[in-house]
Structure 1
């Protein structure tokens, strides 16, 4: 669709720079179409001096209304019947470039009675003493980066998981006591790459936390964590992990599966490893439930709440992995061994002031045979 006409194109930024626009219109061809690779409706303005033309993307719904009115006028529809409004200068928000970034660092600047621009992609609202996350924020579907650090937020709404584009979330310096399992099962599983929960009051993270498979950066410093998610090894994309100054006595068994660039575990009260003093919770013979559950996990049989009661699904989700690779649930032998943190991270912050880079790792054994084999290898290594 092409329209030869006289066009005058001026930049709205010229007056602010003390410049004037072109003094007269230029002969041009207006073309409405789509780029070669697709991707929306575009308006192209071509002149003799610039034949490739300048391109402007059009809002499809607004364009339909505009073209519909032009079509009715072309057919000779009376002025009273046309969907026309009185000509008036547009609002500043209609001619300004859509706002994609906003930074608020004090409560007096926070727009409590107004909505945020729907085009926002980055929002920082720090030091605003917010007790909760504003519903206006939860409507920003284009938001990629959200920084709500240093507020008074105690609980996260489930609807934060509806921010389908969210890649970075900072909640540093709040009053959070938990990170809900529902959030871990939301769309954040596919989008969230950076999460900062440092300087809160979190004691534990749910097992479902490991569903956030796209995480690259994770900060959990200065909380009250007594354990990490026992399947944290499933976070295969994780590269930067900081859990300094918490209350961790040991690391979960799957921690050894991580492949990190940087790791900080400084200031945790790690217990002394005790491979020769196991906690034996092995039941012999195994119960029918233990046999069945182990078989389900070992043979990777599919299960869901549509097939099994939800509490059984939960038990299966919480299964432990023996050093031999087989599963165990409520019947196992548990002990702690020494782990050199350089085996999972390129850069390791010292664990304590003594210069150590080792930490205790929790390990499970599904049978006496597996534990005996481990014990033989351990005793040989210290001789």
Structure 2
């Protein structure tokens, strides 16, 4: 039985001399196995601790030799085994919690002299250097010839960059790296993202710059990435739109969408309350969503988009008189915040409610409204703004919705009084 962890061996006598251990373990491989005692010609069960400096290891007899186990923090991968002879504490840390529990159970059985034949005892031999080296947390692969085909990625990786390798899909071996915090797959040929990326429960940075992506799936937006993803780089791809559910990624702080084919930003972009950096230059945006006004950014770049020149008198009339019963009922559901779902109402009605529009009067409209666009100075939502065009402007059109003709008329009157074109 073997356990990879950090180990510190501390003498009981240190406190007697007013001293204490360093409190910092070294990477080690700890084994439990049988060893022949040359003096008595009997085999006993020992614990052996091997480190990079001492790969032959130190052996500690276990039978009737464990004074106490300290397991208060075993769920965190920490435990201490106190031996009688020699008088030392073997402090274990940074271990897998389940493996540590099995290891301690085996040590306890050996101490009591129980039947150890059922235990997977190890041969107590010197270890290889790779067994006791520090776990690899960062890996960068920058060419196809360096890409591992037969070997696995180290399971301890927290940062992985695979660039310029001509990948056409995400390697499923990457999706088993549960400790991964940053995944950089920039400068490849990836066309589609697997939904299982959402199973990387620690992932806070995802870089997909310069690939062939044509879509960002709803499944990713509804995965554990909702709680972890802070940096997302989708720049220089082939995206034309993002799903409504995209704004469920509410931990986003840094979002890059430059050099795509986006014709619109997500409808509920204002729900990204933690977003501070937004880059969407060189797309096909003609107008910004109404929700854009709710953002509070530090840096914004919308340069190179074909924004229209808004005129409040130019509008889209999508009203009927009287309103259909379905529209009235949908507005009531939205305004009263009545719970709904596909198990209660048809799925297409759920999708309509997801993109409910807010009128200037505070009322909700669903499929029947008047739509126009007004000019907004982007400094209202961002401290720093990259010029929108080569003329030095920082204004952009933002959509506005009105639930009735009277609301639109009132808006026009107020606009004329303020001298807004």
Scaled to the shorter chain, the TM-score interval is 0.7 to 0.9
Instruction: Pick closer, same or farther for the CA change 1:65–1:287 going to 2, 3 Å.
Output: closer
Which one of the candidate residues 200, 208, 214 is aligned to 1:177?
214
Instruction: Pick closer, same or farther for the CA change 1:290–1:41 going to 2, 3 Å.
Output: same
TM, length-normalised to structure 1: 0.87
Aligned pairs for 1:267-282 (under 5 A) are 267-282=304-319
Instruction: Pick closer, same or farther for the CA change 1:260–1:83 going to 2, 3 Å.
Output: closer
Contact 1:332–1:367 under 8 Å retained in 2? yes
Aligned pairs for 1:235-314 (under 5 A) are 235-314=272-351
Which protein has the bigger strand share? Answer: 2
Instruction: Pick closer, same or farther for the CA change 1:337–1:296 going to 2, 3 Å.
Output: same
SS of corresponding position for 1:342: helix
Instruction: Pick closer, same or farther for the CA change 1:376–1:36 going to 2, 3 Å.
Output: same
Contact 1:189–1:213 under 8 Å retained in 2? yes
TM, length-normalised to structure 2: 0.79
What is the deviation of 1:301?
1.0
Aligned pairs for 1:100-111 (under 5 A) are 100-111=137-148
What is the deviation of 1:318?
1.7
Which one of the candidate residues 187, 190, 201 is aligned to 1:164?
201
Of the structure 1 ranges 57-66 and 162-171, higher mean CA displacement relative to structure 2 is found in 57-66
Counterpart-to-counterpart distance in 1, 2:261 and 2:108:
66
**Partner in structure 2 of residue 146 of structure 1:** 183
How many residue pairs align between the two structures? 366
Counterpart-to-counterpart distance in 2, 1:178 and 1:282:
32
Which one of the candidate residues 263, 272, 275 is aligned to 1:226?
263
SS of corresponding position for 1:169: strand
**Partner in structure 1 of residue 60 of structure 2:** none
Instruction: Pick closer, same or farther for the CA change 1:239–1:74 going to 2, 3 Å.
Output: closer
Instruction: Pick closer, same or farther for the CA change 1:77–1:43 going to 2, 3 Å.
Output: closer
**Partner in structure 2 of residue 122 of structure 1:** 159
Instruction: Pick closer, same or farther for the CA change 1:66–1:189 going to 2, 3 Å.
Output: closer
Instruction: Pick closer, same or farther for the CA change 1:63–1:374 going to 2, 3 Å.
Output: closer
After superposition, what is the alpha-carbon deviation per residue over 1:165-224, rounded to whole angstroms, capped at 9, x for unaligned?
A: 110000000000110111111111111111000000000111111111111100000000
Which one of the candidate residues 113, 126, 142 is aligned to 1:89?
126
Which one of the candidate residues 186, 190, 200 is aligned to 2:223?
186
RMSD over equivalenced CA pairs, Å: 3.1
Counterpart-to-counterpart distance in 1, 2:116 and 2:53:
36
Which one of the candidate residues 156, 159, 169 is aligned to 1:132?
169
**Partner in structure 2 of residue 21 of structure 1:** none
What is the deviation of 1:117?
1.2
Contact 2:357–2:401 under 8 Å retained in 1? yes
Counterpart-to-counterpart distance in 2, 1:82 and 1:37:
21
Instruction: Pick closer, same or farther for the CA change 1:241–1:81 going to 2, 3 Å.
Output: closer
Contact 1:115–1:136 under 8 Å retained in 2? yes
What is the deviation of 1:350?
0.3
